Chain A
Amino acid sequence: MIHSLFLVNASGDIFLEKHWKSVVSRSVCDYFFEALERATEPENVPPVIPTPHHYLINVLRHRIYFVAVIQSEVPPLFVIEFLHRVVDTFQDYFGVCTEAAIKDNVVVVYELLEEMLDNGFPLATESNILKELIKPPTILRTVVNTITGSTNVGEQLPTGQLSVVPWRRTGVKYTNNEAYFDVIEEIDAIIDKSGSTITAEIQGVIDACVKLTGMPDLTLSFMNPRLLDDVSFHPCVRFKRWEAERILSFIPPDGNFRLLSYHVSSQNLVAIPVYVKHNISFREGSSQGRFELTLGPKQTMGKAVESVLVSSQLPRGVLNANLNPSQGTYTFDPVTKLLSWDVGKINPQKLPSLKGSMSLQAGASKPDENPTINIQFKIQQLAISGLKVNRLDMYGEKYKPFKGIKYMTKAGKFQYFDRIHILFKCFFYYLLPI
């Protein structure tokens, strides 16, 4: 299956290599570099690159290319999914997955990769098992290790691999037993010029942070489970129970994990919480263009729209922008042509606007594209899909845990028909009434 792995940074240097079978010369990456050169954007590198003797499958995350070398037939998604799992693991271990973090922890990285694949076939990918095998580096442990010479490698043999609940480590103990669930939603919408929605979808996830002693068995029920008609689960969720009762029943892994993700499809009506009025025009023959943009709240059920951030990719012909925001600050990068406007909170009485002129390159013809606009914001205490957790129960352990749930609607994609593009982000938080 996976023969070797090369990590390539943004400037095209291989900074880590790992082989699970015979060594493959790093010159195989030349084919990748060729493809990289051909691609106009970093994300346009084809994920699968055939070479005379190998196939290169790569994913790009955090500006690092993870290039896996394959020698024979294997489902490409298998490799891609695994590579993403590797990145997730690194992120889990080091907080960030950057070249510096990987280089700093090269030994841990190597130990992880060694455990995650055997002969190119995934062996241990559950974070709970890995953490039993190799302890994540913390500042304290690094200090202690340097002084005492003890190791990152778990002293005890990991039992999780053998257990019937392979995703949960054994012997978990906490003094404060807590379980938190974050409901995070993203909206993805295309809106035409008149403001009517062409399509809108919600992509939601429930991320959990469970720190409970022993082997708790949790059930999570929803007020309106019917919303969840298209879901995917963490392996810990008992599928049959969901089918029969629409209740999530599971023995959770220890720590952070994604319990489920769901998709509320375009057939359902989705409320759009913000509207945009814009007027961007260029006059033929003139080196000036006009820029006007106004934001306003819509269907927010009386909740305030906060932390609004607008960014826009202006056409290439634009030299500079001289704008006047009614609130917040804006910046324009003349190289990348990226305009960003930190709006802050939208006051429904006084709508924020950004007006002014743009100077065009002399002699350049009028740009005919409309720029893309991205918007991010938060709305306190508003669930976009309306999904609500009913209750969380715990069986199997005697203590009383502290339970909490947080709703968040985040960074969806809004697309106006004439290529205006808005990202939404809102979340709110309350404690479970149990």
Chain B
Amino acid sequence: VSAAPSAFSDEKGGSASEPEYGHDPASGGIFSSDYKRHDDLKEMLDSNKDSLKLEAMKRIVAMIARGKNASDLFPAVVKNVACKNIEVKKLVYVYLVRYAEEQQDLALLSISTFQRGLKDPNQLIRASALRVLSSIRVTIIVPIMMLAIKEAASDMSPYVRKTAAHAIPKLHSLDPEQKDQLIEVIEKLLADKTTLVAGSVVMAFEEVCPDRIDLIHKNYRKLCNLLIDVEEWGQVVIINMLTRYARTQFLNPNINESLLEENSEKAFYASDDEEEEDKKAEPATLAKRKPYVMDPDHRLLLRNTKPLLQSRNAAVVMAVAQLYFHLAPKAEVGIIAKALVRLMRSHSEVQYVVLQNVATMSIKRRGMFEPYLKSFYIRSTDPTQIKVLKLEVLTNLANETNISTILREFQTYIKSMDKDFVAASIQAIGRCATNIGEVRDTCLNGLVQLLSNRDELVVAESVVVIKKLLQMQPEQHSDIIKHMAKLIDNIQVPMARASILWLIGEYCEHVPKIAPDVLRKMAKSFTNEEDIVKLQIINLAAKLYLTNSKQSKLLTQYVLNLAKYDQNYDIRDRARFIRQLIVPTDKSGALSKYAKKLFLALKPAPVLESPFKDRDHFQLGSLSHLLNAKAAGYQELPNWPESAPDPSVRNVEVKDSVCAERTVLTGPEEVPTRVKCSSRKDRKEKKVEKPFYSDSEGESGPTESADSGNCESDSGSGSASASGSDESGSGSESEESGEETESDEEEEDEEEEKKKRKKLDKTKAKKQAEESAERCTIHTIHQISCIINFDQFDMNKITSVFSQTLAPSGSIKMYELLHRIKGEGLAVEYCFSRQPFSPEPNMVAVQIQFTNNTNSETKNLHIEDPRLQSGMRIREFAEIDVLAAGESVTVVMGIDFCDSTQAANFQLCTHTRKFFVSIQPPVGELMTPAFLTENDFKKEQGKLMGMNEILEKLTLGEKCVNEHVIVERVTATANLSRVPCGSDKECRFAGKTVSSGCLVLVTVTTKEGGGAQLTVNCEKMLIGTMLVKDILQALSQ
């Protein structure tokens, strides 16, 4: 056991060596050293050096990777969550996600870091904060997660929105009760037009609410058009979901054939030619039925998924293949065969899954894979499970025309060294023989030859298969039965012995001489046989007793007696039952009359069926299909509807229909020019091509899809690169024009209210003038107030004057800083005067009023020892030398709250005492009014959309009857100024945060019946959120 100090230097060498960790921690000595090591790790984590921390974290992660418990380090690790070093931080995240669930309380310490990260201006930091926050499985933070997801879902950055989509299933699994809210978010994200988000949100949809197919309608065409540019994993999820969707919304394209199929199903071995004949017969039936017309949306899906058959990702190819199998008209399904055969050259696991699906498909659509028959030939290097699956496919593909080649192939397989495979091959031959009448005799002969094989397993398997084949036409094959009867002396495999005995018993009339002799031999060896053989011996005895009682009566009695005392109760039961049935006694029941009928009834020949038959009721490519059992969370593939649901649900209102038409026109035009382009044009073309990758194209997609009905003939899909920049250009243009029209409308509105506006402008100008004047005065006043202690009365008066102009609410709320009892007579109150703090403009001015309620003077009032959050600063007021008894004095101090509502803590000192006090600002006081014109406001608001916008609906309080009250309430809550607004339904306010000068825009839109909508746009999301809360409260009171 190495001592702890040396351990450290050991570890520096890297995680590769780490000798002790390999040991079993249970043994005492090692355990104690382990413990010490953890101490050592803790020390390293507590150090100031990043390199030490990193080293420690690396070792901890290595422990986690090996499955060692590192949970006792939690407190030491979690401290480093805000570490500056990126790698340390990342590793801490890894640790947190792993252990937070076990240490919920401690994990909460880290939450604030992530919350801060959520508000970072960098989208990648926001995304990573959300990712980790949502990965911590701590139920307490569910509301925080919910809020974060909601905000991230409307973030400007698509990457953050993608992360939000990822977070949805995490929250859902943590707290399923949030489902309804999460569905709202999903709905919002489904409408997202970027390829980045599409895959992730469909994933969330599949996990949270796969049955809410109605959410897809409006996004269906967009998803189809985006599909080719979505990342490959997203493609798989979207295609699988759309398969299910299409099954509920469109009609079966093979509806006319499905009737015929039922007929042809009986003629299972019918060749393709016959099928073609069937097709000729089709029109007759077709005429009776309503002609099938494919929904353009159905066609869109098939057309847009087809290129993905060329994907390098096997999962994508499989997804498209199953989509075509389940959705495409029969004539079109064939195209997937080539792609699936290509996948067979991939890793053996991929082959395994593909072959399983091919096996299922090849039963339904045999013709599809027939050209690729040779690709399914087995190679000696294939793993057994692949070989068996290939055999399965070959058997399914066998028909009259190819059976000879297939059988020749099978013959070579029987020589293989792989015994399981040989057995499967023999069974496959059996199946071919039952399925194809022409080759039955050939197969049977081949199998009989195998009976003389040196390998017993081969013989045994052959016997079992021959038994099944003979059952079809026993009369012609009594010589084979005789041959097999001879085999019973040599063959030891129980299943084979049992099969032979059953055959002899069943067809004892065909071998009347041999059968009793076999029974004699069996009676001799009865006690040494396996149970399955014993049962067949009893069977044989019973059958012989019924047909040839003269020769076998005693033997039967003997066998039954042996069986009576067998260890296996099944055999004892069988013996008792048979004795009662066949041996006539006085008490023999009514049944014994029918014994012959019971035993010698004509048994139907077994149907040798593929184990893959009817597996296609599971969605192909799914886990459930592979296992042939419903896996958890499997969504049933719905049956086609009888009549198509309303297709108009997928219509999307298209704002820019003009542009859509243009796209359709440019598409076909572009193609020919591109074909004959010279090298010079190539360069140009490159430019044209670029949007192939870009999101902008995706955005123009939906517009095209709206017209997809018209442009059906256009072979290029919605995301055709051909239409190139023109397309995307028009897309963006139209967007701009959309905006323009919007603003035009506004202008019209404004024109209507021109007069009003002019007035407003005037007032605004006036206000601005006033304001600048005020500023001057405030400046001077403050300078003075800092030096001289103003009379409280005067001060208040001035403040109230200003605040009335600035914030019409007027009244300023006083907060208590120190109660008079606690302060031993000294009462201190403060208020936010809402004036700029002149010495430092980014500080919030706090006006403090001291009242001396004692009988003696208080001296040397000042601030000491401020304890502040990092970044916060205090500008103290000048020390008050003397405060006479009964007197009051007011001072102003500045606090830079860093735009947070964290409290500023400090000590208030008199000449005798010290009081701990703290000032916590309401969020509304962290801002100063900003003066914007209506247009500026709109412009700024436009910049602060997405994640920076918070929308809330509310019902106005009873007293909020008119605009005036609303304005009063809002300005009382927050230090904002009103922005002129044309509409009387809307009140707008603007402000800037004091510390960083971020804009805060508030809009209150009133509606009929006391409802209202509050919109807050602010870059600082935390401030926005809190402000919303405060204003909501103020307005709904």
Interface residues of A (CB under 8 A from B): 1, 14-19, 21-23, 26, 40-41, 43-44, 46-48, 50, 55, 58-61, 70-78, 80-82, 84, 103-104, 106-107, 109-111, 114, 118-119, 121-123, 125, 146, 149, 151-155, 157-158, 161-162, 164-166, 188, 190, 198-199, 201, 203, 217, 219, 230-235, 238-241, 243-245, 249, 251, 258, 260-261, 263, 265-267, 315-316, 365, 368-370, 372, 393, 395-396, 413, 415, 417-419, 421
Chain B residues within an 8 Å CB radius of A199: 374-375, 377
B379 proximal to A (CB < 8 A): yes
Interface residues of B (CB under 8 A from A): 12, 14-16, 49-51, 54, 58, 61-62, 64-67, 85-87, 90-91, 93-94, 98, 101, 122-125, 131, 134-135, 137, 157-159, 163, 166-167, 169-170, 173, 196, 200, 203, 228, 231-233, 236, 240, 307, 310-315, 317-319, 338-339, 341-342, 345, 347-350, 352-354, 371-372, 374-375, 377, 379-381, 383-385, 412, 415-417, 420, 454, 621-624, 626-627, 629, 631-635, 671, 674-675, 679, 682-683, 686, 689, 692-695, 716, 720-722
Given contacts A44-B384, A74-B623, A80-B347, are A21 and B90 in contact (CB under 8 A)?
A: no
Contact B16 A107 (CB under 8 A): no
Query: What would be 27 A-B contacts, judged by CB atoms less than 8 Å apart?
Result: A21-B137, A43-B383, A47-B352, A50-B629, A72-B631, A73-B634, A84-B350, A104-B15, A106-B61, A107-B15, A107-B58, A114-B93, A125-B233, A157-B124, A188-B379, A190-B377, A199-B377, A232-B317, A238-B721, A240-B721, A244-B671, A244-B674, A244-B722, A396-B686, A415-B380, A417-B412, A419-B380
Contact A315 B417 (CB under 8 A): yes
Q: A59 to B352, alpha carbons, bound, how many Å?
A: 11
Q: Which of B131, B417, B626, B683 interacts with A316 by CB under 8 Å?
A: B417
Given contacts A16-B66, A107-B15, A240-B720, are A166 and B231 in contact (CB under 8 A)?
A: yes
Contact B353 A149 (CB under 8 A): no
Contact A238 B412 (CB under 8 A): no
Contact A239 B307 (CB under 8 A): yes
Contact B632 A71 (CB under 8 A): yes
Contact B54 A81 (CB under 8 A): no
4 cross-chain pairs, A with B, having the tightest CB-CB distances, nearest first: A72-B633, A149-B51, A151-B87, A199-B374
Q: A303 to B122, alpha carbons, bound, how many Å?
A: 60
Contact A151 B54 (CB under 8 A): yes
Closest to B135 in A: A119
Contact A111 B381 (CB under 8 A): no
Q: A43 to B385, alpha carbons, bound, how many Å?
A: 9
Q: A184 to B163, alpha carbons, bound, how many Å?
A: 39
Chain B residues within an 8 Å CB radius of A315: 417
Q: A121 to B851, alpha carbons, bound, how many Å?
A: 64
Chain B residues within an 8 Å CB radius of A151: 54, 85-87
Contact B381 A421 (CB under 8 A): yes
Given contacts A110-B94, A122-B233, are A77 and B318 in contact (CB under 8 A)?
A: yes
The residue in B233, B240, B345 that gathers the most chain A C-beta atoms within 10 A of its C-beta is: B233
Q: A244 to B673, alpha carbons, bound, how many Å?
A: 12
The smallest C-beta distance from A299 to any residue of chain B, in angstroms, reads: 20
Chain B residues within an 8 Å CB radius of A14: 67
Contact B51 A238 (CB under 8 A): no
Given contacts A103-B16, A118-B131, are A234 and B621 in contact (CB under 8 A)?
A: no
Q: Which of B93, B374, B417 interacts with A198 by CB under 8 Å?
A: B374
Chain A residues within an 8 Å CB radius of B159: 161-162
Given contacts A18-B65, A40-B384, A199-B374, are A81 and B632 in contact (CB under 8 A)?
A: no
Q: Which of B58, B87, B125, B315 interacts with A78 by CB under 8 Å?
A: B315
The smallest C-beta distance from B451 to any residue of chain A, in angstroms, reads: 15
Q: Which of B314, B377, B720 interacts with A81 by CB under 8 Å?
A: B314
Chain B residues within an 8 Å CB radius of A258: 312
The smallest C-beta distance from A281 to any residue of chain B, in angstroms, reads: 15
Chain B residues within an 8 Å CB radius of A71: 632-633
Contact A76 B623 (CB under 8 A): yes
SS class of chain A's interface: helix, strand, loop or mixed?
mixed
Contact B627 A50 (CB under 8 A): yes
Given contacts A106-B62, A153-B86, are A232 and B91 in contact (CB under 8 A)?
A: no
Closest to B50 in A: A149
Contact A266 B375 (CB under 8 A): yes
Q: A70 to B627, alpha carbons, bound, how many Å?
A: 13
The smallest C-beta distance from A376 to any residue of chain B, in angstroms, reads: 13
Contact A119 B686 (CB under 8 A): no
| Sample of 18 more A-B contacts, CB < 8 Å, known A55-B631, A161-B124 | A16-B66, A43-B348, A43-B383, A44-B384, A48-B627, A75-B621, A80-B353, A84-B350, A104-B15, A119-B134, A119-B166, A123-B166, A151-B54, A190-B374, A230-B339, A393-B682, A396-B686, A415-B380
Q: Which of A26, A104, A164, A245 interacts with B694 by CB under 8 Å?
A: A164
The smallest C-beta distance from B422 to any residue of chain A, in angstroms, reads: 10
Closest to B347 in A: A84
Q: A118 to B164, alpha carbons, bound, how many Å?
A: 11
Q: A369 to B455, alpha carbons, bound, how many Å?
A: 11
The smallest C-beta distance from B21 to any residue of chain A, in angstroms, reads: 11
Chain B residues within an 8 Å CB radius of A59: 347, 349
Chain A residues within an 8 Å CB radius of B65: 16-18, 106, 109-110
Q: A396 to B693, alpha carbons, bound, how many Å?
A: 15
Q: Which of A154, A161, A251, A365 interacts with B693 by CB under 8 Å?
A: A251
Chain A residues within an 8 Å CB radius of B58: 107
Closest to A190 in B: B377
Q: A221 to B787, alpha carbons, bound, how many Å?
A: 83
Chain A residues within an 8 Å CB radius of B417: 315-316, 369
Closest to B374 in A: A199
Q: A281 to B423, alpha carbons, bound, how many Å?
A: 25
Q: A82 to B722, alpha carbons, bound, how many Å?
A: 32
Chain B residues within an 8 Å CB radius of A365: 454
Chain B residues within an 8 Å CB radius of A263: 341-342, 345
Chain B residues within an 8 Å CB radius of A111: 90-91, 94
The smallest C-beta distance from B142 to any residue of chain A, in angstroms, reads: 16
The smallest C-beta distance from B315 to any residue of chain A, in angstroms, reads: 4
Contact A419 B416 (CB under 8 A): yes
Chain B residues within an 8 Å CB radius of A190: 374, 377, 379
The smallest C-beta distance from A132 to any residue of chain B, in angstroms, reads: 11
Chain A residues within an 8 Å CB radius of B371: 267
Chain B residues within an 8 Å CB radius of A40: 384, 420
Chain B residues within an 8 Å CB radius of A217: 686, 689
The smallest C-beta distance from A5 to any residue of chain B, in angstroms, reads: 11
Contact B626 A48 (CB under 8 A): yes
Contact B67 A26 (CB under 8 A): yes
Contact B675 A244 (CB under 8 A): yes
Chain A residues within an 8 Å CB radius of B85: 151
Q: Which of B350, B671, B692 interacts with A80 by CB under 8 Å?
A: B350
Given contacts A232-B310, A238-B689, A368-B454, are A119 and B169 in contact (CB under 8 A)?
A: yes
Chain A residues within an 8 Å CB radius of B626: 48, 76
The smallest C-beta distance from B677 to any residue of chain A, in angstroms, reads: 9
Contact B310 A231 (CB under 8 A): yes
Q: A48 to B91, alpha carbons, bound, how many Å?
A: 32
Q: Which of A166, A266, A369, A395 interacts with B682 by CB under 8 Å?
A: A395
Given contacts A72-B633, A106-B15, are A121 and B203 in contact (CB under 8 A)?
A: yes
Chain A residues within an 8 Å CB radius of B686: 217, 395-396
Closest to A315 in B: B417
Q: A48 to B631, alpha carbons, bound, how many Å?
A: 12
Chain A residues within an 8 Å CB radius of B416: 369, 419
Q: A16 to B67, alpha carbons, bound, how many Å?
A: 7
Q: Which of A23, A118, A240, A369 interacts with B98 by CB under 8 Å?
A: A23
Contact A73 B381 (CB under 8 A): no
The smallest C-beta distance from B990 to any residue of chain A, in angstroms, reads: 31
Q: Which of B311, B624, B631 interacts with A232 by CB under 8 Å?
A: B311
Q: A61 to B311, alpha carbons, bound, how many Å?
A: 22
Q: Which of A47, A81, A219, A369 interacts with B313 by CB under 8 Å?
A: A81
Contact A261 B693 (CB under 8 A): no
The smallest C-beta distance from B229 to any residue of chain A, in angstroms, reads: 9
Contact A107 B377 (CB under 8 A): no
